[in-house]
Amino acid sequence: MHKAAPQSATGTVDNHIIAAMRLVLAASGLLIIYIDPAEPSRFVAVTHLLLACYTAYSALLYTLALHASSYLLETIYRWVHWVDVAWYVLLISLSNGTSSIFFFGFFFAILVASFRWGFISGLRVTLLSVILFTSVGLLTAPRSTHFELNRALVRPIYLLVLGYMMAYWGGHELNLKRRLALLKEVTTLSNPRFGVDRTIGTLLERLRAFYDGDVALAVTHDAGRNEYHLRRVDRRDPEAGMKPSPLPAHLAQQLLAVPANQAVIYNQRGRWLGLGPRYLTIHMLTGTRSTEGETRAAALAATLDAKALITVPLQYQHEAVGRLYVTTSSQRFDESDVDLLLQVFEHVRPVIDNIRLVDRLASHAAEEERQRIARDLHDSVIQPYIGLQMGLAAVRRKAVAGGADVAAELERLYELANDGIADLRGYVHGLRHGSDNDDNLQASLRRFAEKFAAVTGITVEVEAAADIPCNDRLGTEVFQMVAEGLSNIRRHTEAEHATIGLMRQNGHLVLRVENEREPGTPPPSFTPRSISERAAALGGYARVEQAANARTAVIVTIPL
């Protein structure tokens, strides 16, 4: 069984309820021994004082649970169940040893640890409680003929058995909630803008993080081209799986040696306390379990340098296309993990189909749009520029012949027209035939800024990071938003300088179009409708920020 990672956010016990129940138990214990002083039979005053201190401590934790910050509570609750164990050990040592009524307090600490932090934490608290209770109880038990040996023997056994069951059920419930959360996250991968490669790479990283694994990889076979591809993510490079890499045939055949209709679980260590089988093969169609082929699995584990691995077949339209592997050096796998991986792939498969369909539709639509734009540019833009070029050439000849001092100005306009025609013809050729070498967004923005400055006289500074992943569709939309922003500055302001900022921040692309205002003028109130609509279509948003230093900025945030 996979061990649940310590995540209190997934626990099923509310912080307020835990704190309140601790206070109820402490106050009840103090009240009971005050009403019936039969126990403790020794160190009565010290026991009363210690229990009163525990009640005050519980009241303090309850107050913190109501008013403290979540960060402080998270830090405290990592250790509070151990502190509870210490309190009950002290109370048992001061009262009647193994016959003490405070014995039952251990179950509260075990319950909290199990349902908040999972199986391993609950098991640790159980084992330590058994050892401490037995040792302290026997050492501090009253030396008399009334020593109850049956309690001294039965209570540790009950504590161990019931504590283990609490730890198992608590860890199991946390694990189920984490699995449900993982399946829910899978549905967020359905944005066609991410593309197939990014979707699969993100899925691999989430599976690796879920199991706290060392490596997650997917091996696929393209039967049409007879090519093998590998997507691999690990702790050091979680984004490596975004792009498939070619895989030599001999390595691919080794990783695909497991029959296509089988899932395999391999744990290097043997079974202990129900933590999972050492080796198991599961037939996907019949559900038959087998332990044959352990040598092959051990060889795979050695190849992948893993102490434990799980692999399931990847099927598309009932045909095997590859295998998924998750390896780890600290966790263990069982049959429920096979079911989880298959469920995850069943959720992702229609998402991938949808992305591929949308990509095909977008490609066809883009092709038609390129043809339409090419015709429009040729008919409505290039022809007027050609006429402008011819007219400017004639004026230049007349001005030179007449001695008028207009040659320098006309020469600048002539070169500008030449450059414009060359650019537009290049755009038309790219729209008709596609670009062989797609330029990056940063370079395109800088060229556009230079052209904009030459035509309008408004200087434009581009501040763009070099490590921004941006596909063609997102880059086109960002370019159009920059063009719209600069156009707004030219039409609606008297600014002589503008700044374009482009950066990656917390998994988002942040675009900033900024211009200066006249000192003393009130900040304008406006909403860039076109930019806002484009940002919303990409799953982001746009806002206007009025800075105190007489600057106005349109900021666009888009998730990557």
User: Percent of the chain at pLDDT above 70?
Assistant: 70
Neighbours of 339 (CB within 10 A): 14
Is pLDDT at 162 greater than 60 in this prediction? yes
Integer Cα distance of 94 and 45 in angstroms: 10
Q: Is 38 exposed, middle or buried (0-12, 13-18, 19+ CB in 10 A)?
A: exposed
Q: What is the residue whose two structure tokens read 């290039």?
A: 382
CB-based contacts of 368, cutoff 8 Å, min separation 6: none
CB 452 within 8 A of CB 460: yes
Integer Cα distance of 222 and 321 in angstroms: 7
pLDDT in tens, 228-276: 888 888 888 877 777 888 888 888 888 888 888 889 898 886 544 445 5
Is pLDDT at 164 greater than 90 in this prediction? yes
Neighbours of 394 (CB within 10 A): 10
Is pLDDT at 127 greater than 90 in this prediction? yes
First to last CA, the chain: 34
Q: Is 323 left (phi over 0), alpha (psi -120 to 50) or beta?
A: beta
Q: How confident is the model at residue 110 (pLDDT cuts 50, 70, 90)?
A: very high
pLDDT in tens, 521-538: 666 667 777 788 888 888
Higher-confidence position of 361 and 15: 15
DSSP H helical segments within 211-306, as ranges? 249-255, 294-303
Residues in the chain: 560
Question: Which of 20-34, 108-122, 267-281, 334-348 has the weakest average pLDDT?
Answer: 267-281
Return the half-sphere exposure (C-beta side, CA atoms, 13 A cut-off) of residue 311. 29
What pLDDT, on a 0 to 100 scale, did the predictor assign at position 412? 63
DSSP labels for 159-203?
HHHHHHHHHHHHHHHHHHHHHHHHHHHHGGGG-GGGHHHHHHHHH
541-547 and 508-516: which strand pairing?
unpaired
Per DSSP (E only), the strands in 140-298 are 215-222, 227-234, 245-246, 262-267, 279-283, 289-290
Q: Which amino acid is at 250?
A: H
Q: What is the residue whose two structure tokens read 């200066």?
A: 516
Q: Which amino acid is at 176?
A: L
pLDDT in tens, 317-374: 656 688 899 998 877 888 888 888 888 888 777 777 776 666 666 666 666 666 656 6
What pLDDT, on a 0 to 100 scale, did the predictor assign at position 178? 85
289-290 and 308-316: which strand pairing?
unpaired
pLDDT in tens, 390-406: 666 666 676 766 655 56
Integer Cα distance of 355 and 303 in angstroms: 34
Q: What average pLDDT does range 188-201 have in this prediction? A: 70
Is pLDDT at 5 greater than 50 in this prediction? no
CB 158 within 8 A of CB 129: no
Q: How confident is the model at residue 4 (pLDDT cuts 50, 70, 90)?
A: very low
Sign of the four-CA dihedral 439, 440, 441, 447: negative
Kind plus residue range of the DSSP H or E element containing 541: strand 541-547
Tokens (6 digits) for 288 = 């038959």
Closest CA to 480 of 533, 559, 420, 525: 533
CB-based contacts of 36, cutoff 8 Å, min separation 6: none
What pLDDT, on a 0 to 100 scale, did the predictor assign at position 431? 54
CB 91 within 8 A of CB 47: yes
What pLDDT, on a 0 to 100 scale, did the predictor assign at position 353? 72
pLDDT in tens, 49-91: 888 899 999 999 888 888 877 777 777 778 888 999 999 888 8
> Residue 542 forms beta bridges with which residues?
556
pLDDT in tens, 451-506: 778 767 788 888 887 767 676 667 777 887 888 888 788 777 888 888 898 888 88
Is pLDDT at 424 greater than 60 in this prediction? yes
Integer Cα distance of 51 and 359 in angstroms: 68
Q: How confident is the model at residue 6 (pLDDT cuts 50, 70, 90)?
A: very low
Q: How confident is the model at residue 136 (pLDDT cuts 50, 70, 90)?
A: confident
> Residue 170 forms beta bridges with which residues?
none
279-283 and 289-290: which strand pairing?
antiparallel
> Residue 552 forms beta bridges with which residues?
515, 546
Closest CA to 108 of 50, 169, 163: 163
